[in-house]
Amino acid sequence: MIKFRNTSIITQRIIRGPFQRFFSIPKNDDTKKSPTAIVLLNLGGPSKLDKVEDFLTRLFCDPDLIPIPFQKTFGPIIAKRRTPKIQDQYAKIGGGSPILSWTQKQGKAMEKLLDEINPETAPHKSYIAFRYTSPLTEDTIIQMKKDGVKRAIAFTQYPQYSCSTTGSSLNELWRKSELFDSEQSIQWSMIDRWPTHPGLIEVFANHIQTSLQTYPPEVRDKVILLFSAHSLPMVVVNRGDPYISEVSATVHAVMERLKFSNPYRLVWQSQVGPQPWQGPQTVDAILGFGKRGENNILLVPIAFTSDHIETLFELDLEYGHEAEKAGIKGLKRVESLNDDPVFIKAMSDIVKKHLDSGKVTSTQLLLRCPMCKNNSCQKAREFLLRQNI
């Protein structure tokens, strides 16, 4: 019997020679390269009807999104009252939000393309961190640690920055990292906005042109392009939030790409509650144009990167029904970006340029709103500045 107890590793390998197949030499797991994580941040949506109330409770308890007095008390009450209505809306679009499915498809296609165009940081692995539903930020951080992730990019899926959306997700990332990665094993950087990226503008313009082809030639250049974005409470706008100007920048860049072929307006949807919100509201604009005899209106969801309740129910069903009642026959909607290859290419290019830059985040993110009183915003930015990528 051959004994190896007092022999060196090299001697053991020499002695084993022909007997190699009878022995199990452990492989060095350290040779496996840690993946570069790209974490897609978004609001999310309930995938099933029984998840609606929990989703709404998280949403109405978030002061970054909807600031209301006595939020911890009234937020759950408002959510419970609105649950039956919102469940009915989700039931009409298939029983749940498709945003998780679309985000998964986008992430998988993006990571595959990134491995090709940026092999230096491969392998790339996409994750999802939703703000109000699973997978939540803490779920994603825990999974990333299990996967051995050391380097991560938080990639907002809101092209235009708002404290209510990207800002809220960043604040949550800081809070949950403190709890679930207190040793800071994951080094973060952030893509916080991309309102005029050429690929984003190209895919919007392509979709608009495709939709315009469905109108008769004699009216095609007279179709009103109604760019619709999620609205904000005026208290957020007046605080200095950059969202309104960044959405406007996207619209202008798209129209430049289209050579200002059609008349257009920027309008706002999804107002909640009695307090003042940015207007005009999309449905009011549709009906207002209808009263003036404008029959051909093309809706463009300019602040969304995939289909969800705001496109499938609000724009398509709710506003479509109102337009039909008003006798507006030519109302249509541009197809959402979803997994369009041009959009996937844009996402990949954004990540590559961010990786190449070596920056933790944009200069713009470090500038807080002039009237901001939220201490979490400052701590979240300090969290990013502490990163050593």
Annotated active-site positions, please? 197, 349
CA distance 193 to 163: 11
What is the total residue count of the chain? 389
CA distance 200 to 117: 18
In the numeric block, the tokens 């994951």 are attached to 186
DSSP β-bridge partners for residue 380: none
**Long-range contact list for 45-48, CB < 8 A, 24+ apart?**
45/96, 45/97, 45/98, 45/99, 45/100, 45/130, 45/133, 45/308, 45/309, 46/90, 46/96, 46/97, 46/133, 47/96, 47/97, 47/100, 47/133, 47/134, 48/95, 48/96
Angle at 281 between CA 276 and CA 284, to 5 degrees: 125
Query: Which tokens is 127 given?
Result: 């994750």
CA distance 67 to 160: 20
CA distance 290 to 41: 37
